[in-house]
Chain A
Amino acid sequence: MKIALFATCIVDGMYPRAAQATVAVLERLGHEVVFPKGQACCGQMHVNSGYFKEAVPVVANHVRAFESEDYDVAVAPSGSCVASVKHQHPMVARRAGDAGLEERATAVGKKTYELSELLVDVLGVTNPAEQLGSYFPHTVTYHPSCHGMRLLKLGDRQAGLLRGVKGLELLDLPEADQCCGFGGTFSVKNAYVSSAMLADKAANIRSTGASVCAGGDYSCLMHIGGGLSRQGSGVATLHLAEILASTEAAPVAVPGPAGQPVKVVVK
């Protein structure tokens, strides 16, 4: 299968290792990965902040970028950005009165999958240890990000994949379904409420005793990781893709509390 990678702006600029890991996992399964060059961002920061007008060119760019490449399905290592592509893009176009863009955006959205959705529903990954050689000998707790959980209804897909990783011990996160408090510009506009939400999330994570908090969205993980780092907790944050990409031959190191980038060995 030819798979177009939508890296998402935050992974592209801040956490390239999650995109590299996504490529590694997909290639390991024997698929061809392409990277539509014109891509930039899904625009949800603009939409969610009420800047619909400014979101239009961002959405139009995404649609153009993913129309100009030939592929079977598109994938992004982010539930939130995929939910934006699927739900917000047609809405932004409709609001701008651009029926043509709405139709094209809907078509792109239909072909776009969140990583765990693609792996489980389309590529039939049921046993990461066997099918991907995934190996990660650490204690891990898992935060299900709101948009993946509620907008994409990912259910057990991400946690299920983690459970299938060799050596990984998955520890239940108390109040897992509670938002971490990120919410894009919410975290600066309502910084105090956001920080209070983060404090509870971090306390719940620390109460598990896990050495890693995993998730499927680097936006939330940057928020949670930022809090854990400020608290000097020593708990690291890692994306699901990085854990799936980790093998016995080339294990992904758990980043230190400072969150230094980790070298991911591709292939």
Chain B
Amino acid sequence: MSRTALGMPGLRPGSGNLFAEEKFPSAARRELGNAQLRRNLKHATSTIRTKRLNVTGELPDWEELREAGSALKTSVMARLPELLEAFEANVTARGGTVHWARDADEANRIIHGLVKAEGVDEVVKVKSMATQEIGMNEYLEEHGIAAYETDLAELIVQLDHDKPSHILVPAIHKNRTEVRDIFLKEMPGVDPGLTDEPRRLAMAARAHLRAKFLTAKVAISGANFGIADSGALSVVESEGNGRMCLTLPGTLITVMGIEKLLPSFSDLEVFLQLLPRSSTGERMNPYTSLWTGVTEGDGPQKFHVILLDNGRTNALADEMGRSALHCIRCSACINVCPVYERAGGHAYGSTYPGPIGAILSPLMTGVEAEENGSLPYASSLCGACYDACPVKINIPDILVHLRGKDVDAHRGGLPSQLDVGLKAASWALSDGRRLGAVEKLLPLGRAAAGKDKKIKKLPGIAAGWTQSRDIPAPPSQSFRDWWAKEHKES
């Protein structure tokens, strides 16, 4: 459905780190050449797949939970304006301040203003997708403020001046020797005798971070859930570093996408079962933090929430695509995706890789933005993502829907080989007689095959096929002809 059809004024496309700057096929081709990356990904994704299947398989009501999660999110999207206003009123009533940001730039400016008001040039960060999406670290850095990632994997990526390649395991593309080398090179005061033993690496990171936790005056977090009827927020994590950030500094700034709302606290029952099992393959995650507004003498005394749109209403306006906003960022779809497993996260350009990224990025920015139109094609439509998704987002259907939008956006331009081929095919395949006439040419294809009855090289776009596959010589007659002869039809 088009934006104008809904009559929604003022929809802005998302901005920040939501773009593929290079077409997916060529980015993927380059990443495919990285053997280390492929080994890491294969190992990590297959381990987590097995863990996830074990803990989802053991629940007799897993399918009902998925249904419930999907239904809850559908109703949240239908009631979003009302729930957002309730959330704002409740946060405010409990001593917090709510800010509204239409896009990445607005969010960054608000955050910068809040940090500046505290007179500091350092902040600590809880692992958060929303702040990655808006490119907050880079923005603050440009304005003389250092944002320290406290999640171990995010820290590794940050120290290496790299980009995360997975939403849950941001450093999935690095192995531990690489991590040690990064620490030795980039971590101030690190023990020069550091080995690549995981425990030693974690201890080095802990020593580095502890100092930051104790001195930081401002923390910045994302949120997994916001509860409309109380204004409560929740962060779900594994390491406990998030909880340190949420409790120690005097000021807490939380950036939350507007789709993260749930109507009430009891709805967490469903999502706190769905999320850890789908995400890390654990029955329960180690740390679930919940807080509401400001409590005197306990935790941060100043609390701000930034409600981030950044293209989410764009996605919401798309009837077929809006369920992408149900995503709880568990990464199950990414971990089962055969395309992600080979191409890796960086090939998608955006903060959101894998199947969810291939729909979410173009939905938030529009398919015509940069190379985001190439993302919906980054799938063989095998459907593994849909099966794995705890909130039952029909990713394959949305991929196909967005391909349709991309094709329509290019109509009227210079036709590609595929355009020409598929238009001709539509003509031939929409009439049995026409197809029958085309099939009379099968012997020609037979003649084109070599002595070994294989076709090994095709020109143009079909060369992509013959780079690794033969085509058998066509049969001498089609089934249609055989049938007609058998049944004495003309």
A: residues with CB less than 8 A from B are 7, 9, 11-17, 19-20, 35, 37-41, 43, 45-55, 57-58, 60-61, 65, 91, 95, 146-147, 150-151, 177-179, 181-199, 222-223, 225-227, 229-230, 258-261
Contact = CB atoms under 8 A, between A and B. Distances in A.
A12 to B, nearest CB: 5
B380 A50 contact: no
B296 interface: no
A50 B479 contact: no
Interface residues of B, number: 70
B475 interface: yes
A189 B338 contact: no
B490 to A, nearest CB: 10
Contacts of B244: none
B342 A193 contact: yes
A223 B472 CA distance: 10
A48 B470 contact: no
B378 A49 contact: no
Given A190-B25, A260-B472, A43 B381 contact: no
B418 A185 contact: yes
B58 interface: no
Shortest 8 CB-CB contacts between residues of A and residues of B? A50-B403, A183-B380, A226-B469, A191-B464, A179-B382, A16-B479, A57-B430, A54-B426
B454 interface: yes
Interface of B: 24-25, 28-29, 32, 338-339, 342-343, 376-384, 386-387, 397, 400, 402-408, 418, 422-423, 425-426, 428-435, 438-439, 442, 452-454, 456, 461-462, 464-465, 467-475, 477-480, 482-483, 487, 489
A181 B464 CA distance: 13
A129 B339 CA distance: 39
A12 B426 contact: no
Contact of B479 (A7, A54, A58, A193): A7
Contacts of A19: 479
Nearest to A42: B429
B32 A225 contact: no
A229 to B, nearest CB: 4
11 contacts: A16-B475, A37-B432, A40-B432, A51-B423, A58-B430, A178-B338, A179-B380, A195-B469, A222-B471, A226-B471, A259-B470
B454 A189 contact: no
Contacts of A189: 25, 377, 418, 464
Q: Which of B397, B434, B456, B482 has the most CB of A within 10 A?
A: B482
Given A146-B383, A258-B454, A48 B29 contact: no
A229 B472 contact: yes
A38 B383 contact: no
A85 to B, nearest CB: 14
Contact of B467 (A7, A43, A53, A191): A191
Given A14-B475, A45-B422, A226-B471, A9 B380 contact: no
Nearest to A9: B429
A12 B468 contact: no
Contact of A48 (B403, B418, B426, B467): B403
A192 B25 contact: yes
B454 A20 contact: no
B429 A14 contact: no
A7 B418 CA distance: 25
B430 A150 contact: no
A190 B378 contact: yes
Given A41-B429, A182-B380, A261-B472, 10 more contacts: A13-B439, A50-B402, A54-B423, A54-B425, A91-B397, A188-B465, A193-B25, A193-B28, A222-B472, A229-B469
A179 B338 contact: yes
Contact of B28 (A11, A190, A259): A190
Contacts of A192: 25, 28-29, 32
B472 A11 contact: no
A146 to B, nearest CB: 4
Contacts of A65: 432
Contacts of A229: 454, 469-470, 472
B359 to A, nearest CB: 13
A8 to B, nearest CB: 9
Contacts of B487: 35
Nearest to A8: B479
A52 B404 contact: yes
A199 B42 CA distance: 14
B479 A12 contact: yes
Q: Which of B382, B431, B487 has the most CB of A within 10 A?
A: B382
B247 to A, nearest CB: 44
Contact of B478 (A12, A194, A230): A12
B439 A12 contact: yes
A50 B406 contact: yes
A195 B386 CA distance: 23
B469 A58 contact: no
Contacts of B404: 50-52, 95
A225 to B, nearest CB: 7
A38 B431 contact: yes
A260 B123 CA distance: 68
A95 B403 CA distance: 14
A37 B272 CA distance: 55
Nearest to B486: A266
Contact of B430 (A50, A61, A91, A146): A61
A14 B469 contact: no
Contact of A230 (B387, B432, B470): B470
A190 B379 CA distance: 9
B342 A197 contact: yes
Contact of A49 (B403, B435, B462): B403
A258 B408 CA distance: 40
Contacts of A7: 479-480
Given A50-B403, A260-B453, A188 B469 contact: no
